[in-house]
């Protein structure tokens, strides 16, 4: 096979692959932009603002991201992760000693049984049992709302991370496409300088003799 023909074929193949990588990069960029815009729009609609710096408690000030975002409107996935873990997570631990919505179900059912039995027997302890039941119910409802919001915010964060990964993948595709494009141009330039009659098999011995 002629060397010039081989250079042209490899160069055309490189250009084709570069176009393919460019197309994949554009798709990944579109996905990344969609993820970022969707997360920003959804979080902005919630109108969640971080606590101003002067109102942060000593425990909250230990979280660097709460200090950095103090007073800001939540619009990014990283901010959502910070608020979910460092703010909501912190306060959930103080509501019921770290118990979750699921773990508070047992104490609530137990107190419901005690209240029902006390009503049947006119137990003097009924008011105290009802008070305890109302307290556990209140804690469970608050924990449920906090866990739900925390889960939604972490979902937004996870979705935003897909956008970050897509953008990183797009950058890799663009770099690969650029490299292949330059190599293809170099191949065409080499083909232009190569004599039409030179074959690939004959080119290597010629270079060997010139090196001796």
Task: For residue range 67-98, list pLDDT tens digits in order.
Answer: 999 999 999 999 999 999 999 998 888 887 77
Q: According to the model, what pLDDT value does residue 211 have?
A: 45
DSSP characters over 79-117: HHHHIIIIIIHHHHHHHSTT--TTTTHHHHHHHHHHHHH
Q: According to the model, what pLDDT value does residue 210 have?
A: 46
Ranges under pLDDT 70 in the chain: 1-2, 4, 196-212
Q: According to the model, what pLDDT value does residue 75 have?
A: 93
Q: List the Cα angle 39/167/31 in 5-degree steps.
A: 55
Q: In the chain, how many domains are there?
A: 1
Q: According to the model, what pLDDT value does residue 93 have?
A: 85
Q: According to the model, what pLDDT value does residue 6 have?
A: 75
Q: According to the model, what pLDDT value does residue 170 have?
A: 94
Range of the domain at 112: 3-211
């Amino acid at each position: 096979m002629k060397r010039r023909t081989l250079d042209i074929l490899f160069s055309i193949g490189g250009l084709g692959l570069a176009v393919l990588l460019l197309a994949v990069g554009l798709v990944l960029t579109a996905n990344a932009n969609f993820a970022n815009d969707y997360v920003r729009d959804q979080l902005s609609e919630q109108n969640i603002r971080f606590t101003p710096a002067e109102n942060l408690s000593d425990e909250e000030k230990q979280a660097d991201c709460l200090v950095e975002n103090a007073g800001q409107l939540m619009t990014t996935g990283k901010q959502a992760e910070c608020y979910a873990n460092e703010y909501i997570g912190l306060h959930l631990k103080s509501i019921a000693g770290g118990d979750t919505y699921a773990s508070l179900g047992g104490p609530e059912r137990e107190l419901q049984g005690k209240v029902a039995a006390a009503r049947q027997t006119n137990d003097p302890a009924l008011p105290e049992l009802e008070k305890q039941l109302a307290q556990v119910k209140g804690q469970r409802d608050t924990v449920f709302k906090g866990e739900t919001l925390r889960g939604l915010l972490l979902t937004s964060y996870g979705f935003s991370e897909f956008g970050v990964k897509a953008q990183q993948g797009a950058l890799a595709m663009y770099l690969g496409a650029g490299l292949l494009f330059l190599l293809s141009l170099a191949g065409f330039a080499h083909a232009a300088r190569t004599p039409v009659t030179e074959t690939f098999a004959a080119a290597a011995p010629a270079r060997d003799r010139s090196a001796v």
